[in-house]
Chains A and B, each alone.
Chain A
Amino acid sequence: MDIALIGRIFPVFVQAAWTTVELSLLSLAIGLAMAALVATLRLSHVTALRFIGAAYVSVFRGTPALIQIFLLYFGGPQIGIQLEPFAAGAIALGLNIAAYMAESIRGGVRSVDRGQMEAARSLGFGEGQSMRWIVLPQAAKLMIRPLGVNAVALVKGTALVATISVVELTYTAQRFIGSTYKPFEIFAVTAVLYMIMVYGLTVVIDRLDRAYAGEA
C-alpha cells in the first residue's frame, strides 16, 4: 500500500469528486423536472398523454444508460445537437433517471387513498386543486424514500460519463492508473470518495423523510 501516493493524489481526487457532485446535482435537477412531467403524463386522463409517458419510461428504462449517453454525445452532432461532455453527460443522466423517478412519483400519488381525492372533489375542489392541496402533500412523504434510492443510483451512475471524457472521479482515477500503475490504491480512494458522497446524500434523505413524517 503506497500511502504517500494516496496523499499526493488526494487533492486532485477531491477536486474530481466535486465535479461528480456538480454533475449529480445538475442531473438530479433535470431528472426531477422531467420526472414530474412524465409522471403527470402517466397519471393523465388522456390516453395519448398516458401513452407518451409510458413510452418514455419504457425507452429510458429499457436501454442501457451508457448507450443513452453515447447516443446524445456521439450521435447528437449528427442531428445538430452539439454538447460539451459535461452537459451531454448531465442531460443524458438526467433524462435516464427521470424515467425511474417518474415511477417513484407516480407510485407515491397512487398510494394515497382514493378516498382523499373523492373527499376533496366532493367539497368542490377541482382535479388540479385536489392534487395540489390534498393528494400531493400526502404523496410527497411516500415519494421521499424511493426518490432517494433513485438519487443514490444516479450518483453512482455518474461514473458512466467517464467514457465521454467528463473529468469526474472515475475518469480521473483511470487517468492516474496509466501514470502510476497502482490501481488498488487509486480505486480504493475512488470508492471511498463515492461512499462519502452517497453517505452524505442518505443523510439528507433521512432528514427530509423525518421532517415530513413529523409534519403529518
Chain B
Amino acid sequence: MNDIRPMIEVRGAQKFFGPLEVLKGIDFSVARGQIVAVIGPSGSGKSTLLRSLNHLETLDGGEVWLDGVKVNQTLGRRAFERHINGVRQQMGMVFQHFNLFPHLSVSENITIAPIRLKGMARAEARALALKMLDKVGLADKIDAVPARLSGGQKQRVAIARALAMQPKVMLFDEATSALDPELVDEVNLVMKQLAGEHMTMVIVTHEMRFAAEVADRVIFMADGAVVEEGSPAELFRNPKQERTRSFLKKFLNG
C-alpha cells in the first residue's frame, strides 16, 4: 500500500491574488521517487503552485497531501504552526535566487536547521554538512562565506542546505534562471544526480531540454490550469493541445 500512495497529491488547488484567479482547480500527483517537471508561460502559476505545496502560499481551495498527511489542514494557529513546520522539514525547497543566509558561513547555512530544529550535535551536523557539500562538489567551501561564491556554487550550497534536512521531496523553482549560462550545467548536474538517487522532485523550469532529460513526467500549465501532462516524449514530441504546441514552438524558435 505504501508504495502506491503518492508522495504528493494535489486536489482542486485554487488560489486568488485579489480578483485574479491564479490557480484554477489544479489536480496532480507525484509518485514516490518520481520527477515531475512543470513548464508553462510566465505568469501561468507555476511558482504559486510549487509554493502552495509547502504552504508558502495559502490555497483558497483544494487540498495538498504529502505522503498521506494533509498539508493545508484546518487547525488552531499554534497547532497549525507546529504542523506546518514539521511538514516543511520534509520538503526541501530551492529558490531562483538561492536565498542563502549571508550572515552565516556555508557550513552554518547547512547546519543551522539540523542543529536548531532536530537538536543535532554540532560535530555531527558539521559532518553532515561536509557530506552534503561533497554531494554537490563543494566540500572545499565548507568554511567560505556565501558572498565569496559564484551563483552556481551558491545554488549548490542551497541544495545541500535543503538536503541536510533529509527531506522526502525536493521542490525547485527555476533553480538555474538567475545563473549565467556557463554556470547552469553544474547545478543541473546535481539535480540529475539527485534524480539518480530516486529523490522525489518537482521542478519548475524554463529549460525544456533539461526537463526532457530529467523528468519522468511533464506538466504544462497555462493560465492557472494544467493544459496537458505526459511523459517528456509524449509532451515534447507529440503534444495534443494546441496551446502546448504553440508554447513549445515559441520556445524552440527562441
* Contact B95 A115, beta carbon cutoff 8 Å: yes
User: B160: CB under 8 A from chain A?
Assistant: no
Contact (A124, B103) CB under 8 Å given A115-B97, A118-B56, A118-B95: no
Interface string of B100-118 (1 = CB under 8 A from A): 1111000000001100110
Which residues of chain A (106-150) have a CB below 8 Å from chain B? 113, 115-116, 118-127, 129, 133-134, 137-138, 141
Provide the residues of chain A in CB contact with B112, threshold 8 Å.
123, 133
Which residues of chain B (79-126) have a CB below 8 Å from chain A? 81, 85-86, 88-89, 91-93, 95, 97, 99-103, 112-113, 116-117
User: B217: CB under 8 A from chain A?
Assistant: no
User: B161: CB under 8 A from chain A?
Assistant: yes
Provide the residues of chain A in CB contact with B81, threshold 8 Å.
126-127
Nearest A-chain residue to B147, judged by Cβ:
A216
Provide the residues of chain A in CB contact with B162, threshold 8 Å.
122-123
Q: Which of B54, B85, B101 contacts A116 (CB 8 A)?
A: B101
User: B165: CB under 8 A from chain A?
Assistant: yes
* Contact B101 A119, beta carbon cutoff 8 Å: yes
Contact (A124, B88) CB under 8 Å given A129-B116, A138-B102, A138-B103: yes
A145: min CB distance to chain B, Å: 17
* Contact B95 A124, beta carbon cutoff 8 Å: no
Contact (A122, B91) CB under 8 Å given A127-B81, A133-B112, A133-B116: yes
Task: State in angstroms the CA–CA spacing of A127 and B81 once bound together.
Answer: 9
* Contact B117 A123, beta carbon cutoff 8 Å: yes
* Contact A134 B97, beta carbon cutoff 8 Å: no
Provide the residues of chain B in CB contact with A138, threshold 8 Å.
101-103
Task: State in angstroms the CA–CA spacing of A137 and B56 once bound together.
Answer: 22
Provide the residues of chain B in CB contact with A2, threshold 8 Å.
none
Task: State in angstroms the CA–CA spacing of A134 and B108 once bound together.
Answer: 11
Interface residues on A, range: 20 to 34
A93: min CB distance to chain B, Å: 33
* Contact A125 B116, beta carbon cutoff 8 Å: yes
Contact (A122, B88) CB under 8 Å given A133-B112, A133-B116: yes
* Contact B88 A123, beta carbon cutoff 8 Å: yes
Contact (A125, B113) CB under 8 Å given A115-B95, A118-B95, A119-B95: yes
Provide the residues of chain B in CB contact with A124, threshold 8 Å.
85-86, 88-89, 113, 117, 165
* Contact B99 A119, beta carbon cutoff 8 Å: yes
Provide the residues of chain B in CB contact with A116, threshold 8 Å.
99, 101
A49: min CB distance to chain B, Å: 14
Task: State in angstroms the CA–CA spacing of A116 and B161 once bound together.
Answer: 13
Provide the residues of chain A in CB contact with B103, threshold 8 Å.
137-138, 141, 215-216
Most A-side CB within 10 Å, residue of B102, B145, B161: B102
Q: Which of B89, B102, B147 contacts A123 (CB 8 A)?
A: B89
A94: min CB distance to chain B, Å: 30
Which residues of chain A (169-216) have a CB below 8 Å from chain B? 215-216
Provide the residues of chain A in CB contact with B158, threshold 8 Å.
119
Task: State in angstroms the CA–CA spacing of A18 and B158 once bound together.
Answer: 52
* Contact B99 A115, beta carbon cutoff 8 Å: yes
Nearest B-chain residue to A216, judged by Cβ:
B103
Provide the residues of chain B in CB contact with A115, threshold 8 Å.
95, 97, 99
Task: State in angstroms the CA–CA spacing of A123 and B97 once bound together.
Answer: 16
Provide the residues of chain B in CB contact with A134, threshold 8 Å.
101
* Contact B99 A121, beta carbon cutoff 8 Å: no
A77: min CB distance to chain B, Å: 43
Beyond A123-B113, A123-B162, A138-B103, 6 extra complex contacts between A and B, CB < 8 Å: A116-B99, A116-B101, A119-B99, A127-B81, A138-B102, A216-B103
Q: Could you write out 10 A-B pairs with CB less than 8 Å apart?
A: A116-B101, A119-B95, A119-B99, A119-B158, A121-B56, A122-B93, A123-B161, A124-B85, A124-B117, A125-B113
Top 6 closest pairs, chain A to chain B, by CB: A124-B89, A119-B99, A115-B99, A122-B93, A123-B113, A124-B88
